[in-house]
Structure 1
């Protein structure tokens, strides 16, 4: 019997580790894109000081305190306020006129990470006079990310980029109106959270929310394999009100999804789709 190559053995170890995470902690990364998850697990293994993926599996199974440290590598927490300003400009100019016609609104930011996209939308809705009639649902699989999102504290050196993005998005105020700076950090105003519901949620295993007028899930599904992408899009389809909107990331698309026919292009170049009325 021929021996397996080291890379093949590593793949087996990774699959067993992902299965262990699911069985013990109910975090399901088994349908994430293998190349991406392998790259992140290699970084975690090295930084956490384990010689093999099997050793990492044993560690996380027997030491629950290791789990949040591992999750920091497995869940992507890289974002910025008003990231891709043309997307937010399209929301402001194309979606807001439609959203104004509703007496109340529900917005779901799926995979909200540390809150940058959430607060971008809250600020945009405040500037457009829609915040008071809107409930924002901010969800993520990573509880620590949710805590960071709720705290809304960011490094001061990120603010010039946030400010420039806000300006390019068509911002109608100064971003500095919404935060206070001290000791190299900025803290965004608590009033931005008054209509926000933060919740643990997995696009892999959990059900959706009902009657959303806008779901923004950007740069999350690029880490999923095709089957998991399809599941997430089905979840969004079932959660969006008729003629509601779905915003995806620049590298994401509905094109090959079995749910594509449930949507029409609304702002094609910004990957904003509208749920069909029927």
Structure 2
């Protein structure tokens, strides 16, 4: 007769073996994800794929290569919104973009872009500030399925009213409807908003600095990581940013106790917007 303790112990072993199989078979390392969050997502995949146990899910991972995209989509939790936390986007509009306007070219890294809602939000901010033509947004995510939807820019129309409210609260100067077309029950954002967007797979766990950037946004991704992995990611963001560049984290995330904390100053601590210390690099100074 098994006890609840036995069941939890077995489940823990199964989870460890699943993580090892994912890393050894496909090179994706989830060993430093927050354990409770990882277990919850793996069990959701067990239910979704009707495997019954984590062990059976591991067997599918090992023997069915086609199941990998679905597993990664479930593990990476691609969730976002247009102009989520409007106060953050208002500060970006009013205090960050005017500084970035001094650069001849603007590179932005949206790490963990999920289905792309915040990518289009950024594109709209840049368009309304007159900066889009000299900007490049690098939108990355672990999930190829999430990136595919982000490229398409198609979303349920039921979100339109809330997104419009978010846009207006973020200081929008037009109507959000100016940026999309509605058909049936779907919204499709204008192709022109992604003409300067590069979508690419990038693994924050194992990949290196993505590019030299002036603004990095990674919102509500680090909360799923262990402290050592959070520190690694914050180091990546620091190394990606030019001196004087900006970093925007999620509202439940902070760098207060990270090794990189001394490399940044808070532009708005409550909204988790930081600026890398030091003067602008000479090569990026205004001309």
Q: Secondary structure at the match of 1:260?
A: helix
Q: Secondary structure at the match of 2:254?
A: coil
**Matches of residues 38-57 of structure 1 in structure 2 within 5 Å?**
38-57=39-58
- 1:251, CA displacement in angstroms? 0.4
**1:200 & 1:209 partners in 2: Cα distance?**
10
**Corresponding residue for residue 137 of structure 1:** 138
Contact 1:82 1:88 in 2 (8 A): yes
**Corresponding residue for residue 246 of structure 1:** 247
Contact 1:155 1:185 in 2 (8 A): yes
Deviations, residues 149-192 of structure 1 (Å, cap 9, x unaligned) = 00000000011111110000000111111110111101111101
Question: What TM-score results when the alignment is normalised by the length of structure 1?
Answer: 0.97
**Corresponding residue for residue 77 of structure 2:** 76
**2:74 & 2:105 partners in 1: Cα distance?**
37
- 1:72, CA displacement in angstroms? 2.3
Runs of 4+ in 1 over 2 A off after TM superposition: none
- 1:236, CA displacement in angstroms? 0.4
Q: Secondary structure at the match of 1:198?
A: strand
Deviations, residues 46-96 of structure 1 (Å, cap 9, x unaligned) = 121112111110111101111122222211121110000000001011111
**Corresponding residue for residue 26 of structure 1:** 27
**Corresponding residue for residue 168 of structure 1:** 169
Deviations, residues 172-213 of structure 1 (Å, cap 9, x unaligned) = 111111110111101111101110111100100001123210
Q: Secondary structure at the match of 1:31?
A: coil
**Matches of residues 63-212 of structure 1 in structure 2 within 5 Å?**
63-212=64-213
Where does structure 2 lack aligned partners over 5 or more consecutive residues? 280-287
Note the aligned Cα RMSD (angstroms). 1.3
Q: Secondary structure at the match of 2:139?
A: strand
Contact 1:81 1:117 in 2 (8 A): yes
**2:83 & 2:136 partners in 1: Cα distance?**
19
Q: Secondary structure at the match of 1:230?
A: helix
**Corresponding residue for residue 269 of structure 2:** 268
Deviations, residues 119-167 of structure 1 (Å, cap 9, x unaligned) = 1001011011111110000000000111100000000001111111000
**Corresponding residue for residue 220 of structure 1:** 221
Q: How many residues align?
A: 277
**2:146 & 2:10 partners in 1: Cα distance?**
32
